[in-house]
Amino acid sequence: MSKNVSVPQMERDREYAFVRLNRRKIHLGKWGTPEAEKAYRRIITKWASNPATAHIKPGEQVFLDQLCLAFMQARTNQNDHGNYKTAIEVLLSVYSGEPVETFDFSSLEVVRNQLVQRGYCRSYINKLTSMVRSVFYWGVPRKLVPASVAESLRYLKPLLKGQTNVPEQPPRQEVSDEIVARTLPHLLPTVADMVRVQRAACMRPSEVCRMKVGEIDRSGEVWKYTPQLHKNSWRNHKRTVALGKFEQSIIASRLAGKEPDEPVFSPKDALLERYTRDATKRKTKVQPSQVKRKEQTAKNPKRRVKDFYTTASYGKSVMQSLEAANKRLPVEDQIPHWTLYELRHAGISEIIKTTGSVDIARAVAGQKHLATTMIYNHADDQVAEEQAKKRKIG
């Protein structure tokens, strides 16, 4: 529960006690009686676990808006937060204000059709549809959704490859080191270092964003970064990233004065770098009123800078820097757009090319199954081609 949310207090209306939850007045009984105190404690206990549903009485009609709000507030795992937000947004764009019990598999099909109209690929549509289902499954044990409603959603089968006109997800690509090298001078130093470390260690974007000082074991020749939170932490899988001399040299320069629970790569550091960069480019003298305004903003910022990067903010920083650079560059020198996952893809593909072993690539990438690593099979194909060229006749 957020520290900024105050606990609703018991109020008095003549001889009766009540509490306000979500703009709703809930009567507790006569003021000052043990029954009113007991009812208040019961409601506040429920409110603390999920403020969005505390005012809903057993057997009372629940609306889809309430269910979705309760689900998002209850989620502690932030993985796929943006995708859940998209799935719920599409659901409510069609069925906002509708009771939960009226939703069935045909309603879910309507939501899926909306996803199709947005132009999403088949696998992503199936993923978002499954996320909508999971909202209803979550609500069953909490008595927000009838079990029959959740059960009916199982009857909508996923879109199958080759049996629909929905586009397929394009094959995963890799960004070349030459393009990355051309991009780095246009990035803020903090973001550029994140890109270098992620590429060298084949890390997921989220892993480089969440890297804490105290999660890096620097006792050996090879440093070991063991993130507490990662993609498969909910499965109790351990993830250890081996950091070589190149990555160590970058990380070491960012550890001075930082506590174990602080990020290695901080948005606050990047913000200071941007201010410094903008100041050096300034051609006019800074006016006293501007200095005063900056000091006031620093004391009371309108928007709080987060302690850690997210995958979204990290990717957005790279994208915006690329767009700004391409506006200044001539057409023939412009840098192609690339994504953070293409960066990881490039690292894994390079390992497969140089070692000829998918299993080594799997271990470095932190993937549990070879089938996942085989997604990078175009690199494997190149290895096979090179081996074919070397084969002798007879």
The rounded distance, in Å, linking the Cα atoms of 324 and 345 is 25
Confidence of residue 234 (pLDDT cuts 50, 70, 90): low
User: pLDDT value at position 369?
Assistant: 64
Backbone torsions φ then ψ of 376, nearest 5 degrees: -90, 40
Confidence of residue 38 (pLDDT cuts 50, 70, 90): confident
User: pLDDT value at position 278?
Assistant: 79
Confidence of residue 3 (pLDDT cuts 50, 70, 90): very low
The rounded distance, in Å, linking the Cα atoms of 390 and 339 is 34
User: pLDDT value at position 345?
Assistant: 85
Residue 218 has pLDDT above 90, yes or no: yes
Residue 129 has pLDDT above 90, yes or no: yes
| 69's tokens | 């709000």
Beta strands 16-21 and 24-30 are antiparallel
Average pLDDT over residues 267-281: 84
CA distances (Å), origin 392, targets 165, 388, 389: 45, 9, 8
The rounded distance, in Å, linking the Cα atoms of 83 and 117 is 17
SS3 content of the chain, % helix, strand, coil (to 5): 55, 5, 35
Closest by Cα among 192, 233, 200 to 215? 233
Lowest mean pLDDT among 126-135, 166-175, 295-304, 313-322: 295-304
User: pLDDT value at position 182?
Assistant: 95
The rounded distance, in Å, linking the Cα atoms of 384 and 393 is 17
Q: What rounded mean pLDDT belongs to the chain? A: 83
Residue 298 has pLDDT above 50, yes or no: yes
Q: What pTM, to 2 d.p., does this model score?
A: 0.65
Question: Mind listing the pLDDT tens digit for each residue in 41-68?
Answer: 877 776 666 655 655 666 678 899 889 8
User: pLDDT value at position 1?
Assistant: 42
Closest by Cα among 93, 74, 53 to 134? 74
What residues are paired with 263 via a beta bridge?
212
Cβ atoms within 10 Å, residue 325: 17
User: pLDDT value at position 146?
Assistant: 92
Question: Mind listing the pLDDT tens digit for each residue in 331-362?
Answer: 999 999 998 988 888 888 888 778 877 777 77
Question: Mind listing the pLDDT tens digit for each residue in 132-175?
Answer: 999 999 999 888 899 999 999 999 999 998 888 898 887 777 88
Confidence of residue 2 (pLDDT cuts 50, 70, 90): very low
Percentage with pLDDT > 90 across the chain: 40
